[in-house]
């Protein structure tokens, strides 16, 4: 056995235990561009991932469908989410997903709409990229995207006073609802960071919230603390396809363990 690689027999396969493998996954994307940065996913590879999931027989669903219980046909399911509201999502994901009739959920940083991602807490490893304006966000909405909140200023929520936390949650929701003329029920924690009191506050305003907890969805997951797998870990889909296959599951488990040791990425 080569060091660092599990023996082939040790890798579980879907056929070995069909009832026990989790089948639902929420994927996180940020920008769709070719820069190779930590928040970038190549547009061609994005298309390959979406088409690959459909070819694997994965149902690409909305958040509400995902939380309704398992797929009536017992298909594995995935939900595509986008954080921050990058203009490249309008350019690349909007036409592709509209063409394929695939739903998606995009989380908007309302105080930075029409600007760039240079909010005060932005890490130095992220490039400065354009964000969509309200008219582009409304085009996404018209094409079937659901729009959720990713706060006003993209802060580390666990570090805020109660008053500022309330403002981040309520003002972003209010502004989205004014601009979109639609109820906003979904939220994403910036940087995936929160503490118990954060979630208590989020629950007052939203029905669902997504973290950066890197694992498959389980039946007992709290809708206000939903796990998500960052597509960053699935770059080069030709290497990891099928995404719902045993190889990807084993790889993601390893990455999640490493990430737990290293602490959360600042994204």
Site string for Zn ion, 245-264 (x = CB under 5 A): --------------------
Q: Tell me whether residue 43 or residue 190 sits nearer to Zn ion (CB atom).
A: 190
226: DSSP letter: B
Give the HSE-up count for residue 86: Cα atoms under 13 Å, Cβ half-sphere.
24
Q: Tell me whether residue 29 or residue 244 sits nearer to Zn ion (CB atom).
A: 29
Instruction: Determine the interface stretch with Zn ion among 72-80, 188-196, 216-224, 229-237 (rule: CB under 5 A).
Output: 188-196
The verdict on 179 binding Zn ion (CB under 5 A) reads: no
The verdict on 84 binding Zn ion (CB under 5 A) reads: yes
Q: Rounded to 5 degrees, what are φ and ψ at 153?
A: -120, 5
CB-based burial of residue 21 (10 Å sphere; 0-12 exposed, 13-18 middle, 19+ buried)? middle
Q: Tell me whether residue 84 or residue 230 sits nearer to Zn ion (CB atom).
A: 84
Q: Residue 190 CB, nearest distance to Zn ion (Å)? A: 5
Total binding residues toward Zn ion, as defined by CB under 5 A? 3
Place of tokens 């939203």: 206
Q: Residue 151 CB, nearest distance to Zn ion (Å)? A: 9
57: DSSP letter: T
The Cα 13–Cα 16 span in angstroms is 5
The verdict on 83 binding Zn ion (CB under 5 A) reads: yes
Widest pairwise Cα distance in the chain: 60
Site string for Zn ion, 25-64 (x = CB under 5 A): ----------------------------------------
Return the number of other C-beta atoms located less than 10 Å from residue 158's C-beta. 14
**Is residue 139 classed as helix, strand or coil in its secondary structure?**
helix
Q: Tell me whether residue 57 or residue 123 sits nearer to Zn ion (CB atom).
A: 123
Q: Tell me whether residue 155 or residue 190 sits nearer to Zn ion (CB atom).
A: 190
Residues linked to residue 226 through DSSP beta bridges, in sequence order: 210
Site string for Zn ion, 189-218 (x = CB under 5 A): -x----------------------------
Task: Report residue 233 CA to chain centroid gap.
Answer: 12
**Assign residue 77 a region: left if phi > 0, alpha if psi is -120 to 50, beta otherwise?**
beta
Q: Residue 187 CB, nearest distance to Zn ion (Å)? A: 12
Q: Could you please report the per-residue DSSP string of 142-166? A: HTTEEEEE--SS---GGGS-HHHHH
Q: Residue 177 CB, nearest distance to Zn ion (Å)? A: 20
**Sites for Zn ion among residues 139-158 (CB under 5 A):** none
Q: Residue 57 CB, nearest distance to Zn ion (Å)? A: 31
Instruction: Determine the interface stretch with Zn ion among 18-26, 49-57, 82-90, 198-206 (rule: CB under 5 A).
Output: 82-90
Orientation of helix 162-180 relative to helix 134-142, angle to 10°: 70
Q: Which residue is nearest to Zn ion (CB)?
A: 83
- Binding region for Zn ion (CB under 5 A): 83-84, 190
């Amino acid at each position: 056995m080569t060091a660092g690689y599990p023996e082939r027999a040790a890798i579980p396969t879907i056929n070995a235990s069909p009832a026990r493998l989790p089948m639902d996954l929420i994927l996180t994307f940020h920008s769709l561009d070719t820069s190779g940065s930590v928040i970038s996913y190549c547009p061609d590879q994005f298309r390959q991932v979406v088409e690959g999931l459909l070819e694997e027989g994965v149902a690409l669903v909305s958040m509400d469908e995902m939380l309704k219980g398992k797929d009536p046909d017992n298909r594995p399911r995935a939900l595509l989410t986008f954080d921050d509201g990058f203009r490249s999502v309008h350019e690349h994901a909007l036409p592709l997903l509209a063409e394929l009739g695939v739903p998606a959920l995009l989380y908007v940083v309302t105080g930075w709409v029409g600007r760039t991602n240079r909010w005060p807490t932005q890490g130095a490893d992220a490039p400065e990229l354009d964000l969509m304006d309200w008219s582009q966000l409304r085009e996404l909405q018209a094409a079937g995207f659901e729009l959720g909140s990713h706060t006003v200023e993209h802060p580390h929520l666990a570090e805020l006073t109660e008053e500022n936390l309330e403002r981040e949650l309520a003002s972003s929701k209010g502004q989205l609802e004014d601009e979109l003329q639609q109820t906003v029920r979904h939220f994403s924690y910036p940087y995936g960071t929160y503490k118990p009191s954060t979630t208590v506050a989020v629950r007052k305003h939203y029905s669902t919230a997504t973290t950066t907890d890197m694992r498959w969805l389980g039946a007992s997951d709290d809708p206000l603390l939903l796990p998500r797998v960052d597509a960053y870990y699935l770059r080069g889909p030709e290497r990891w396809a099928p995404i719902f296959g045993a190889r990807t599951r084993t790889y993601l488990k390893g990455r999640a363990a490493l990430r737990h040791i290293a602490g959360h990425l600042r994204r």
